[in-house]
Amino acid sequence: VNALAFPRPPRRDDGSLRSHTGVLWLETDLGHTVPAVHVKRPRPQRACRFLVLYSHGNAEDLGLHLPFIDALARATGADVFSYEYVGYSLSRFANLSPDEDGCYRSIDAAWIYLTETLNIPANRIVVYGRSIGTGPSVDLVARTALKSGKAAAQPPRGALGLLLQSPLESAIRCALGYGSSLSMYPLDIFKNYEKIEAVVCKAAIIHGTSDNVVPCKGGVALHDALQNPYEPCWLEGYGHNNMPYDRVFLYARCFLGELNKVRRNAEREQGKPVVELFQKAGSA
């Protein structure tokens, strides 16, 4: 399953990644090091500093999508932080192989760095995953929500929002269908369909209707299971790898605008349970 799920680009010494001004190194809880890039956007001093935590797809790596995250930062006005999976890109030189747990450890290292080292408030972070990157993204947001225990729906202890591009229900549901995901349950990975209901923050989904790599019906099913959905964007006639960047970036910018309204409302109504504010925003 891992061999099919993680078709890494060929091994190479990526000079473009090493020379990027925002490159840094993260360490997972197992001591593995992975590169990351922090793209910072200038803005007025009083402006809200959102940060997008971006998880890439399976057939690319951090070096290959540097132009995308730079463009995403310019289009949205937000800072963008993108990290690498264990076994991909420069981390591959340590003879590490990618797997599901490695992806979770990598995004955890990114989250800890952002919230503990840089002291960025969790409710200023929007988690954005594309394709297989929706696996660690959903897992992170679902866990940060659940970890808040009795107040499991207090988004200030978790991310402000979740944006999923071409999300999969699970690896086997994506490749072989619903029935196979039941019969092959122990082998399945990235079971987003089991975790999506635990996501309490506002969540948005964009998906091409003609996607024959990750079927759009999976995106529709995940959207239907969301507690607090944002208006989805089904891009008619587009597939997995030809989605128009201008429309993707416009959707992301509009979503961040909606989240900014939620943030302002939360600041004005301090003292009320924040889940109540998110529910109000979802019903507006």
Residues carrying an active site annotation: 131, 211, 240
- Residue 139 and residue 110 in contact, taking contact as beta carbons nearer than 8 Å: no
Q: Which of 117, 51, 58 is nearest to 82 (CA)?
A: 51
Distance (Å, whole) CA 200 – CA 197: 8
CB atoms inside a 10 Å sphere around CB 258: 16
- Residue 246 and residue 240 in contact, taking contact as beta carbons nearer than 8 Å: no
CB atoms inside a 10 Å sphere around CB 59: 15
Q: Which residues, other chains included, contact 19 with Cβ-Cβ below 8 Å and sequence gap of 6+?
A: none
Beta bridge partners of 83: 36
Beta bridge partners of 24: 36
Q: Which of 175, 137, 20, 30 is nearest to 89 (CA)?
A: 20
- Residue 69 and residue 54 in contact, taking contact as beta carbons nearer than 8 Å: yes
Distance (Å, whole) CA 135 – CA 190: 5
Measure CA 121 to chain center. Answer: 17
Q: Which of 96, 246, 73, 243 is nearest to 165 (CA)?
A: 243
Would you state the structure tokens that stand for residue 230, as one six-digit string? 């944002």
